[in-house]
Structure formats: structure tokens, C-alpha cells
Amino acid sequence: MTSTTPPSFEKLVKNFEFVRTLDTNPQIKTVTLLGTIFAKNAIITLEKLHFNENQTHNAAELVTDFDEVTANDVYFWSNASMNSIVGKSDLKTGDKIKINLVYPATEIHIRKYDEQKFHMIKETPEMYKSHVVPYIKEYQNAGRLNWVYNILFHGHEADRIVHNEPDQFILLPDMKWSGHDMDSLYLLAIVYRKDIASVRDLNSSHKEWLISLQNTIKRVVPEKYPQIEDASQLRIFIHYQPSYYHFHVHVVNIKHPGLRDGISVGKALLLDDVIDNLDFLGPEGYAKKNITYVLGENHPLWEKFNQ
């Protein structure tokens, strides 16, 4: 029996064949490209990184190869320079960028990153039960949480973990953060428990657990990153709808210059507000609350809501 060595991150990127541009964002200086690698769909996001004063004085340092690559399931990311990238972009050769790769990319991935129209949705408890719950079960059974379980239970990305609170949560850098510019600090707290898919599963019985989780985050982050002088410089929030249905908390520097809709009304819920609301929502918690949020037409739930 013979085994084959999987292609390196650099080889995957250099075999990327451009199909079309999915999206560009001048505010956060990103371009997302759809293409193929070895005849399979792939999505590459290029992000121009922050330049500090020393870097701008020494342009030779900008011409670098790939930094250490992180990989988990179908997700890869690294820092690189433009002369290492195959594809078209308005970034100049030699510009320092952060590169994310999704490979192989499914149709769901493509729809997520593609340009689309957005709408405000007022989701009632009835809509949640009849449409969202079946979708979450379908989602979880499709293996789309493999990368989460790799981190929690299989030792993936162990060298990137900022803090491991046993039986509670793991805190690590989000793949969207370069790891260098503290103004763009972006961490994720992913909980070990599997019984909470989203804010909809939270009720008054979870209040003390959430307070403890948030207090630990507020204590740990300034300890690990002294540039964050105290917890008031952190924005701690959750998303609804989330990108994946395993409860996690976003932790970003309040100075973060751009997260697209990630911190917008209709997407982000401050964890402090969620905790306070549990005092008023009764034993059913968020399961009985109307929640208004932004939903894109490419999201599978849009089709379900409009059938």
C-alpha cells in the first residue's frame, strides 16, 4: 500500500487558476477570488496587512516567502508577499498580505463569499423551529464542524492556542488576524460543550456560565497581550446567524479598523447584552424571542424562508 504526500500550501496556491472575482472590499483591503486547483473549486482571499514604520523604511523586507502555514480541514492561511501569488489583484508586487485558502471549496463556501443582496429578517420563534432547526441539523451532519472538533479534541492548531480553560473553552487567534497588528487583534473563544449551537439555545440556566466565560476572557487577553491595557479595550460579542453552529465568542480590539458586517447591527450581539437579556426572557431564553438580523440571498436559509 502506498501513501501520497498532500501538496504543500505553496504548491496549492501556485496551481490556482483564476475563474472570477467573488468580492472586493476597499475598506479592509481584501479581494476574494474563485478559481480551481487541480480541477476542484478553491477560494482565495487576499488581505493587505498593516505596515509599521520600520517595514516602510526597508522595502526589501517586504519580499518574503510564505510564513508558517496553518491548516485545518479545508482551511489554510499564511502571510506572504505578492510575488508569491498567482492571480490578478490591484495590490502591488511585494506588498505584504495575509492569504486564506479554502480547498476543496464546496458550493456552500462559494455562495458565502460571492456578492449578493442582503435583507433584514425578523425571525420569530416559529420560523426558528420550522426552518432554522432543521437547517442546523443538516449543517452539523454535513461535517462542517470538523475543523472545530479538530481544535477542541484532536490537537490541531495547538501551537496557536492562547489559553485553554479545561472543560470550558479554547481561546486562539481567528484565521482573519495576521497575528502582528494589535489594532486588528481578533481572537475566538470556542467552547467545549456541544449542546449550544447558537444564541437561540441560551436561557437563564446559562447566565453564570457565560459570566464566567467572559470574565476569564477579560482577564486572560490583557495578560497575553500587554498592548491591551485592560478589558474595556475589547469588544466581546457573538453572531446570529453564526458562520458555524457550535457556540463561540468573538474577541476583538475595539480599535479594529474593519470587520465588514461582523460588528454591525443585525449581526453582532454584545455578550454583555445577551447575559443581561437572560434575566428577562424566562426559562426558554432566546428560543422564544424575535430576532432581527441581516441575511444574504445566497444563504440557504433565505431559500427556506421564501419557499
Contact indicator for 284, 203 with CB cutoff of 8 Å: yes
113 carries a ligand binding annotation: no
176 carries a ligand binding annotation: yes
- Which phi and psi (to 5°) does residue 62 adopt? -75, -20
232 carries a ligand binding annotation: no
248 a catalytic residue: yes
247 carries a ligand binding annotation: yes
14 carries a ligand binding annotation: no
Contact indicator for 200, 212 with CB cutoff of 8 Å: no
The secondary element (H helix, E strand) that includes residue 193 is none
In whole angstroms, what is the distance from residue 25 CA to residue 258 CA?
10
174 carries a ligand binding annotation: yes
Candidates 70, 74, 95; CA nearest to 85 is 95
Q: Which of 163, 248, 256, 299 is catalytic?
A: 248
Among all chains, which residue has been given the C-alpha cell 426572557?
281
Q: What residues contact 82, with CB distance under 8 A and at least 6 apart?
A: 89, 91, 92, 93, 94, 95, 97
65 carries a ligand binding annotation: no
Q: Residue 21 is placed in which grid cell?
A: 472575482
9 carries a ligand binding annotation: no
Q: What residues contact 20, with CB distance under 8 A and at least 6 apart?
A: 33, 34
149 carries a ligand binding annotation: no
245 carries a ligand binding annotation: yes
CA distances from 122 to 125, 127, 142, 274 (A): 10, 9, 27, 18
77 carries a ligand binding annotation: no
241 carries a ligand binding annotation: yes
50 carries a ligand binding annotation: no
Residue numbers in the known binding site for substrate are 147, 157, 174, 176, 239-250
Residue numbers in the known binding site are 147, 157, 174, 176, 239-250
Question: Which active-site residues does the annotation give?
Answer: 248
